[in-house]
Structure 1
């Protein structure tokens, strides 16, 4: 049970009393919050503990809901723009009240129907949940080393590559010339730490590094062959773009995989194709 009621996250609170608009829930420090009738079920009795999300209503009062939003406070997420106003844009976060991204927290153009990558934060002045494109990211990655698997959220395309949020904390970059699969802003993917820079930012790879990557590439070739009756119209001379589209790897990596598979006698090379043995 929560010691105090906390905005923007899931709280476990106890049912304290029944009222006309709903149930009043209480924290260990005896602060109360209303759970409106529309979320109340027969199982909720005085003394029972309930997991709820806390946000503010239209009059800036704390209110509880059993609905779970698409993301919590301090999370990075991709949400759809559902309404516009002079002072900002409203995004659907899975609650009755949409999330405001104020004009002064925007870095790009917002239009209804757009999906935008934002961070959910508590506004210091109003103490409401708002969205922002001006991210608060940690600068010193802790407990991360080369080739560690991480979760990334792609948030912007740049001339160098795609900038990503790593493990909901750090800034990373995937270089264009190291991407061999479809990548779009808003994508969540598993990835790997390639390099930790002196400034704390991360170079990220969508493939494992070194020997592990080589093993993965060989397995990709074998899996594609199995999916296509054991034969594919690819050789060392195949087009780099065709290789990228089919196998999600560079031509150099593909050729290295073929060489290794031939050495291990797992495939045979024909004039215009490769075939499983």
Structure 2
């Protein structure tokens, strides 16, 4: 099957020829797109292939760039509204030409200066990329399809009394509960997450903590790294330290902290004092 240029996605294209304005890149069918001079590097040679993102420029012509947007076609990201016009709103998505969110694709009217979770969609009628805030339209909850999910990429989309709503792998709806969070997170943050449970409604219960031994190893590494970075290699923490203070300093639970401390003591990596711990000096 012949590979063709895909708008809104990364494309591997062959460098076909030079022009005064940049390099023309082509796909296997012979369709070409301009890579403007500002993105051309000395390493790019005629006949070689290069990876570029393709989108519509300010005059609605297809153009290539080596820059990456906050989200590609089919993906979500937190984007700030830069301008409101009669037919919609423009948002900053990390490229020179801002992304239009048409009025009909706004779940609620957008306000200039505010940031929203935006889905980058493709309008086949106009052959253009547009933004959409109806994020639920693009999520699917298929328990059978999700059985193999273990580690997922998360986008934090909203805070609720129970925790944070998230999008997993750009397609699934999930929840991070407050008692599973041991670090500061904000709307728009991207995190690595782990599936705890697939609910009957197809939504995911998630955690930021890796399972089993991996979780313990990460906690140990966090404590070691903090000690190495600390002045005199000491920290004012012990088994009796406050859970909230541990969470704020290390991003782990008190249970994980105690396990990490015990493991480091058994390995003779640290010394436990009455009011602090210290890294053992190696002779």
Instruction: With the length of structure 2 as denominator, give the TM-score of the two structures.
Output: 0.77
Classify the secondary structure of the residue corresponding to 1:168.
coil
CA–CA distance in 2 between the matches of 1:95 and 1:221? 39
CA–CA distance in 2 between the matches of 1:46 and 1:258? 58
Task: Name the stretch that deviates more: 49-58 or 75-84.
Answer: 49-58
Q: Which runs of 5+ in 2 are unaligned?
A: none
Question: Would you say the 8 A contact 1:244–1:250 is kept in 2?
Answer: yes
Question: Would you say the 8 A contact 1:13–1:52 is kept in 2?
Answer: no
Shift of 1:236: 2.8
Classify the secondary structure of the residue corresponding to 1:172.
strand
Match for residue 169 of structure 2? 167
Question: Would you say the 8 A contact 2:163–2:176 is kept in 1?
Answer: yes
**Among 273, 276, 279, which residue is 1:270 paired with?**
273
Match for residue 238 of structure 2? 235
How many aligned residue pairs are there?
272
Match for residue 110 of structure 2? 110
Question: Would you say the 8 A contact 1:22–1:34 is kept in 2?
Answer: no
Question: Would you say the 8 A contact 2:23–2:37 is kept in 1?
Answer: no
Q: How does 1:192-211 map to 2 (within 5 A)?
A: 192-211=194-213
Shift of 1:218: 2.7
Shift of 1:165: 1.9
Match for residue 218 of structure 1? 220
CA–CA distance in 2 between the matches of 1:27 and 1:255? 57
Match for residue 144 of structure 1? 148
Shift of 1:142: 4.5
CA deviations over 1:178-230 (Å, ceiling 9, x no partner): 11111011111222222222333222211112332123223322332232233
Match for residue 92 of structure 2? 92
Q: How does 1:1-277 map to 2 (within 5 A)?
A: 3-11=3-11, 12=13, 15=16, 27-29=27-29, 32=31, 35=34, 53-56=53-56, 62-70=61-69, 71-107=71-107, 110-123=110-123, 125-135=125-135, 136-140=138-142, 141-142=145-146, 144-145=148-149, 148-228=150-230, 229-277=232-280
Superposition RMSD on alpha carbons, in Å?
3.6
CA deviations over 1:128-179 (Å, ceiling 9, x no partner): 211112220232344634xx33222212112221122222222222111211
Question: Would you say the 8 A contact 2:182–2:253 is kept in 1?
Answer: yes
CA–CA distance in 2 between the matches of 1:34 and 1:42? 17
Q: Which runs of 5+ in 1 are unaligned?
A: none
Task: Name the stretch that deviates more: 76-85 or 223-232.
Answer: 223-232
Shift of 1:264: 4.8
Classify the secondary structure of the residue corresponding to 1:183.
coil
CA–CA distance in 1 between the matches of 2:259 and 2:35? 62
Question: Would you say the 8 A contact 2:15–2:45 is kept in 1?
Answer: no
